[in-house]
Amino acid sequence: MTPPPPETAHGRVITLTGIDGAGKSTLASRLHQALADAGHPVLLIGKNNTTVPMDTELSAYLDRLNALVYRRDPRVAQACGDHYWLLALAAWYTLQDTVVIQPALAAGTHVILDNAHHKILARYAVTPGVSTPLAEQVFAHLSEPDLVIFLRIGAREALARKGAFTSLETGHSGARREDFVRYQDAVLGHLREQERPGGWLSIDVTGMDRDAVFEAAAGALADRLHITI
Ligand SMILES: Nc1ncnc2c1ncn2[C@@H]1O[C@H](COP(=O)(O)OP(=O)(O)OP(=O)(O)O)[C@@H](O)[C@H]1O
Ligand SMILES: [Mg+2]
């Protein structure tokens, strides 16, 4: 009798969180490259990714949703209101999870998710008028990440790294650097409240260069997920 084919090991989800300018995208692309170079099947997924492998119709649909959620006219954005954007973001995360992340994991591909929904929850916690349980509930069904890497940095240093910022990044509270700092430090506080001791890999990246951040993350992948790069 021929033995059954070996089961493909499930892929792992590694996600990044942290305030605007913390270095999430920088680390995500570095991890993606390193995993691919080491021969691991891996996908880098973020708000710029609208490709559903081998499915042009779903890719086109995902791209239309991405345009609605992320390529928004500021005047229209204001008119739609906070509840609408929470649900629109939940729709985007849901579709990305269903048509890209879950099939990749089932095929044994690892997923690097540049920015999970945790920052959205922290932003909504700062926004009066949207209930926190509602915001938590609309993301509760998404695939549980195997590792959340939290890049901790104060808003002032994040701003020094970024240089410029948008109105969204001050929570529409103003256009001054102080508005960015106040808003992002509040978001940081809420991210810290979501942190589960022993769960998230929390790295204080203040003053750490890109290589040092990468080494810390690569070490955690080896220790916690047994993925060597
Ligand atoms: N360890 C580091 N030291 C110094 N600068 C860094 C470091 N990591 C990233 N940067 C720089 O800081 C800026 C912000 O980084 P990045 O875009 O990766 O942040 P982000 O967390 O993805 O931000 P956003 O939430 O706005 O997408 C970029 O100019 C990047 O090159
Ligand atoms: Mg980014």
Q: Closest Cα to residue 184, out of 165, 170, 202, 194?
A: 170
Q: Closest Cα to residue 157, out of 223, 208, 87?
A: 208
pLDDT of residue 24 exceeding 90: yes
pTM score: 0.95
Q: Is 209 close to ligand 1, i.e. is its CB under 6 Å away?
A: yes
pLDDT of residue 196 exceeding 90: no
pLDDT digits (tens, 9 = 90+) for 79-98: 999 999 999 999 999 999 99
- The number of the ligand nearest the C-alpha atom of 213 reads 1
Q: Is 47 close to ligand 1, i.e. is its CB under 6 Å away?
A: no
Q: Closest Cα to residue 10, out of 145, 99, 100, 110?
A: 110
CATH of domain 13-46+110-221: 3.40.50.300
Cα 158 → chain centroid: 17
Domain boundaries, the chain: 13-46+110-221
Q: Is 213 close to ligand 1, i.e. is its CB under 6 Å away?
A: yes
Q: Is 18 close to ligand 1, i.e. is its CB under 6 Å away?
A: yes
Ligand 1 atom closest to Cα of 205?
Answer: 1
* pLDDT value at residue 7: 66
pLDDT digits (tens, 9 = 90+) for 144-167: 999 999 999 999 999 999 999 999
C-alpha to C-alpha distance for 199 and 201, rounded to whole angstroms: 7
Q: Closest Cα to residue 91, out of 121, 65, 117, 125?
A: 65
Ligand 1 atom closest to Cα of 19?
Answer: 25
